[in-house]
Structure 1
Amino acid sequence: MRPLLRAAACGSVAVAVAGLVSPSAAADRDLRTTVTLAPLGTYSTGVFDESAAEIVSYDARSRRLFVVNAAQAKVEVLDASRPATPRKLFDLATAGVRAGDGSSVAEGAVANSVDVRADGLGAIAVEAPDKVSPGWVVFFDARGRDGQALGAVRVGALPDMLTFTPDGDRLVVANEGEPADDFSTDPEGSVAVVDVPHSVRAPGQRSVRTADFHRYEHRVPPGVRVFGPTVNERFPVSANLEPEYVTVDRHSRTAYVTLQEADALAVVDLRSARVTSVKSLGAKDHSRPGNGMDTSDRDGGIAIRQVPVYGLYMPDGIHSYTSRGREYLVTANEGDAREWGDYVEGARVKDLGDDGLPPLCADVFDESVTEDEDLGRLNVTTASGLRADGSCYEKLYAFGARSFSIWTTDGRQVYDSGDSFERVTAQANPEFFNSDHTSSDFDSRSDDKGPEPENLALGEINGRTYAFVGLERVGGLAVYDITDPRHARFVAYRNNRDFSVSVEDGGDLAAAGDLGPEGVTFIPAKDSPTHTPLVAVANEVSGTTTLFRVTA
């Protein structure tokens, strides 16, 4: 494996299609559209690596940003009317808010997600301090002056993400239901469907319905990953299915929910509040042309190549859009492993065969793949890939697909970005290829999910639809024109990070720029204070929220 040239690169880097041909799709050479992202202004909490800026939402009328500060269990309200100088107005605190079931949001509760309806009704997903007890949704007036809550309702365990339906009639909440860290309790995952008032006020507890996974307890759909131990003897499958992120179709009738660790998609009928199907998303074949990956942090350079590995898509963020009258789903294929109590799902390839793990199948893999510079360092799941008799691993499954994908609503993939993320970031910042987000380094994440696409936003500009994908580790936004879902095209990459500053190694946080993009929100020109499209990005490691101007 011959490493590519490593050249010094630091500071805020932008790559547009004019200066970079997407390596994974020859059709990109014919692209004529150029998109640019220009950072306008940043609000900083000054808090490093404590999830002080996670999810961001926007209210057009008040021109306010609402940013989840999970570290302090609150939402920070920012005035974005002057995007070059966003400033904090006040906090939306959640502790002590009274809920419709008679409970109150406890001290130590954690805010996870926020969304704002077109009329200013806002909602915050709040998990209980112990995370395994039922959580809350706290409602607020996005245009209020004092940050006082309107009320709350109780939902399932660990409400991780929420979104209003396009028609504004309902709020959909993904209750992840993770187990306790010591595995003493394992609540079931579920999806809450909340009927919300047409005015800016909180609903009552009777407005909450719950879609569960009980019907799958004795019949798990093919390919859906249900694995590992659980202490939930009554509903073991439901405890294993953990909703992560939600999008809703344009008719406001159906929700599509990512089940990340299960590598699956749940479909929820919102009128009946019922899960109608659960579908496996399958795996990506990294041995195919255009689907390569760099598998080692000890191979001496950038080595993106085809390898005998499958990538479980395991998406985190999901959004939907319409092309030629048909609905499509777009996912950021981050990947995630289960580690609860004594159970650890992941292992390095070279460790298979040790500590009670079955080895690689000798008739499938050559011994050389276990070398550090080959596949030896790569983290793979131990829960998938075993031969039918359990004697050895005949397939290797990595966490995540290092890509974003476009799917039909029945779970059929029509596009995947292949190895584009790694190739784009390698060309933009070769000296810091596959860097981590807490420190500036080279190749440190190649053995574990690479750039790690976490989330994305979709936006329409001049009649074309774009996906803005946040890369959690190396940082930055990769932009693709997805107007034609079967022929999506890379158009730009922007990383508002100064790699010459490594905060974990003592560098100045204020000088480092944006680290660890988590939440991404598109603001169309008609709603923008500058009358031009904007993208807001919340960065959980740097604790910053940055507004970018989009030119297309």
Structure 2
Amino acid sequence: MTQLRYLLGFTLAVGLLVACDHRTDLDPIENAGTFREIASVDLGGTAASEISAYDTLTRRIFTVNNETAATPKVEVLELTAAYTINKLTPINVSALGGVANSVAVSRGRLAIALEAADKQANGSVVIVDTRTLAILRTIPVGAMPDMVTFSPDGRYIVTADEGEPNAAYTVDPVGSISIIDTQADYSVQTLTFEGFESQRATLLAGGFRLFGPKASLAQDVEPEYVAISPDSRRAWVTLQENNAIAEVDLVGGSILKIWPLGTKDINVPSNAIDPSDRDSKIAFSNWPIRSFYLPDAIAPFTVNGTNYVITADEGDTRDYAGYSEEARISTLTLDPTAFPTGSVLKQLTNLGRLIVTKSLGDTDNDGDYDALYAIGGRGFSIFNTATGQRVYFSGKSLEERVVAANLYDDTRSDDKGVEAEGVTVGMINGQPVAFVGLERADAVAIYSLADPTNPQFLQVLPTGDAPEGVLFVPASQSPTKRSLLIVSSEGDGTVKVYQPDKP
């Protein structure tokens, strides 16, 4: 009996240890509003540091470096417990036959999203052993894989294949989403959007953008970024230029639906913007125009059993030699009935400098604009993934926080403001925390997401120039045994590592 009690007690203890191994509350208690820089490395100039991934097994950071077009590479950096970053021999991407756009890591495997030398041709995903840097597999995907990620269980590798047109806009490949099954000998399904052509009218009515010259819906769609559910069964993919999110069944291999994201009304007080870079001031005010959200990065999180995604509503335009949608309001003819004070609005200190799209707004096709649509949300949104409904939008509050931190760049007011581009979510003290990269503020905004309908601001963290990638490393996987934020900044080519203080 004594031996049986011992065995039962030992089994229970082991079970508790195993269960607790995944409990966030066993990580050190940290103050999520006190992140500060602990390590940094300079990889070169512009584009030398874009997207990074972290490998727990080797404590290596893998960073896309496209500073030199002829010799693109993936930097291999070693992060030590002594708060130093050592540069190791990089991966020569040019030898793989293309340009790296993104990287991701899972269980000792590095996935590199490789754009073909001919951007409009199909790309590939290259799988590399994180220890030996040996190439394990090369898998074909759609045109211009812009982002790659692993599912939480490591089974699926998913790419957002943007399929951008060439500069002349004479070749426009279809946008696609590729799903690679690592448990089925890396078999791949590349999903396209032809099946949604019949929903065109409904999608457009909801704020979906479809405007590329002579493009079908499948050609016009440009997948940008991927978030995957905690159970590894669903993905949500931003279609940035189209102002939408696609929901994907990873197990069944199908695109389930498209969520059009609508527009924000800049006449609503909470959505006020500073639209001019020529008024010698930062002043948020309301105007009789709307703006498309056009999200870039997207990240998943869960609160009380409900799944959500958060989007960085950066905004983006099609601006090619063969077609450009961009125009400043000062150059447009405004309908006098819709805009009775049009001459005042067009002043450079008011709306005249603001960039809007020419693709929409002439509702009666008479050559003047009856409505005006700006580019980008200048903030972030949160969606309930079960319903597809936006449960929160930051409005003007994010930019107001940046102004208060003395980091707002008024020269970008006429474009897309702070340009929230990257976003990731990490668990700190058992609660989800969002890190929103602000490309034009050179900063990351940090928010608690404990209540997804009312995020709580924690900190504006200065970064390198034009942060492109934001990556969270939980304390349980960190060499310092503390949570880490790794920021890759495209403008100055730096990779910086940040860590919070203890209370």
TM-score (norm 2): 0.89
Distance (Å, rounded) in 2 between the aligned partners of 1:423 and 1:83? 36
The letter of the residue matching 1:162 is V
| Change in CA separation of 1:467 and 1:34 when aligned onto 2, cut-off 3 Å | closer
Q: CA deviation at 1:390?
A: 4.9
Q: Does 1:190 align with 2:176?
A: yes
Q: Does 1:341 align with 2:330?
A: no
Deviations 1:392-411 (A, max 9, x none): 32322111110011011143
Report what 2:165 is aligned to: 179
2:460 corresponds to which of 485, 488, 493 = 493
Report what 1:393 is aligned to: 369
Q: Does 1:57 align with 2:32?
A: no
Q: CA deviation at 1:271?
A: 1.7
Structure 1: give runs of 5+ residues left out of the alignment: 1-32, 97-104, 354-358, 435-442, 497-513
| Change in CA separation of 1:296 and 1:88 when aligned onto 2, cut-off 3 Å | same
- Equivalent pair of 1:92/1:149 in contact (CA under 8 Å): no
Distance (Å, rounded) in 1 between the aligned partners of 2:303 and 2:36? 27
The letter of the residue matching 2:139 is V
Structure 2: give runs of 5+ residues left out of the alignment: 1-30
- Equivalent pair of 1:352/1:360 in contact (CA under 8 Å): no
Q: CA deviation at 1:361?
A: 4.4
Q: Does 1:449 align with 2:386?
A: no
Q: CA deviation at 1:365?
A: 4.2
- Equivalent pair of 2:338/2:371 in contact (CA under 8 Å): no
Matches of residues 60-459 of structure 1 in structure 2 within 5 Å?
Answer: 60-71=56-67, 72-82=71-81, 84-96=83-95, 105-106=96-97, 109-117=98-106, 119-144=107-132, 147-197=133-183, 203-204=185-186, 207-220=187-200, 221=203, 222=205, 223-230=207-214, 236-353=216-333, 359-366=334-341, 367-409=343-385, 410-429=387-406, 433-434=408-409, 443-459=410-426
Distance (Å, rounded) in 1 between the aligned partners of 2:374 and 2:265? 10
The letter of the residue matching 2:79 is A
| Change in CA separation of 1:482 and 1:390 when aligned onto 2, cut-off 3 Å | farther
- Equivalent pair of 1:295/1:446 in contact (CA under 8 Å): yes
SS at match of 2:37: strand
Distance (Å, rounded) in 1 between the aligned partners of 2:440 and 2:340? 30
The letter of the residue matching 1:248 is I
2:41 corresponds to which of 43, 46, 51 = 43
- Equivalent pair of 2:48/2:65 in contact (CA under 8 Å): yes
Distance (Å, rounded) in 2 between the aligned partners of 1:256 and 1:215? 17
Report what 2:8 is aligned to: none
Report what 1:506 is aligned to: none
Aligned residues: 463
Deviations 1:294-352 (A, max 9, x none): 00000111111222222211000000111111110100000000122331101011111
Q: CA deviation at 1:388?
A: 4.0
- Equivalent pair of 1:55/1:68 in contact (CA under 8 Å): yes
The letter of the residue matching 1:76 is E
| Change in CA separation of 1:386 and 1:536 when aligned onto 2, cut-off 3 Å | same
Distance (Å, rounded) in 1 between the aligned partners of 2:330 and 2:276? 12
Distance (Å, rounded) in 2 between the aligned partners of 1:540 and 1:185? 28
Q: CA deviation at 1:46?
A: 2.3
Deviations 1:443-491 (A, max 9, x none): 2100000111110111111122111111101211111111110011111
Distance (Å, rounded) in 1 between the aligned partners of 2:55 and 2:335? 53
| Change in CA separation of 1:181 and 1:245 when aligned onto 2, cut-off 3 Å | same
Distance (Å, rounded) in 2 between the aligned partners of 1:457 and 1:124? 19
SS at match of 1:217: helix
Distance (Å, rounded) in 2 between the aligned partners of 1:95 and 1:476? 31
- Equivalent pair of 1:304/1:422 in contact (CA under 8 Å): no
SS at match of 1:35: strand
Report what 1:499 is aligned to: none
| Change in CA separation of 1:69 and 1:365 when aligned onto 2, cut-off 3 Å | farther
Distance (Å, rounded) in 2 between the aligned partners of 1:242 and 1:60? 32
Distance (Å, rounded) in 2 between the aligned partners of 1:218 and 1:352? 33
Distance (Å, rounded) in 1 between the aligned partners of 2:73 and 2:32? 38
Distance (Å, rounded) in 1 between the aligned partners of 2:278 and 2:121? 43
- Equivalent pair of 2:99/2:114 in contact (CA under 8 Å): yes
Distance (Å, rounded) in 2 between the aligned partners of 1:305 and 1:319? 30
- Equivalent pair of 2:53/2:62 in contact (CA under 8 Å): yes
- Equivalent pair of 1:320/1:330 in contact (CA under 8 Å): yes
- Equivalent pair of 1:385/1:394 in contact (CA under 8 Å): yes
SS at match of 2:349: helix
- Equivalent pair of 2:424/2:434 in contact (CA under 8 Å): yes
Q: CA deviation at 1:184?
A: 2.5
1:476 corresponds to which of 443, 450, 459 = 443
The letter of the residue matching 2:177 is V
Distance (Å, rounded) in 2 between the aligned partners of 1:83 and 1:388? 65
The letter of the residue matching 2:146 is D
Quote the RMSD (CA, aligned, Å).
1.7
Distance (Å, rounded) in 2 between the aligned partners of 1:218 and 1:414? 28
Matches of residues 510-525 of structure 1 in structure 2 within 5 Å?
Answer: 514-525=464-475
The letter of the residue matching 1:114 is V
Q: CA deviation at 1:218?
A: 3.8
Deviations 1:258-278 (A, max 9, x none): 000100011111122211111
Q: CA deviation at 1:384?
A: 2.2
Distance (Å, rounded) in 2 between the aligned partners of 1:414 and 1:365? 35
Greater relative contact order, per chain length (Cα 8 Å cut-off, separation 6+) = 1
| Change in CA separation of 1:539 and 1:365 when aligned onto 2, cut-off 3 Å | farther
Distance (Å, rounded) in 2 between the aligned partners of 1:167 and 1:228? 37
The letter of the residue matching 2:263 is A
Identical-residue share of aligned pairs (%) = 41
Q: Does 1:546 align with 2:485?
A: no
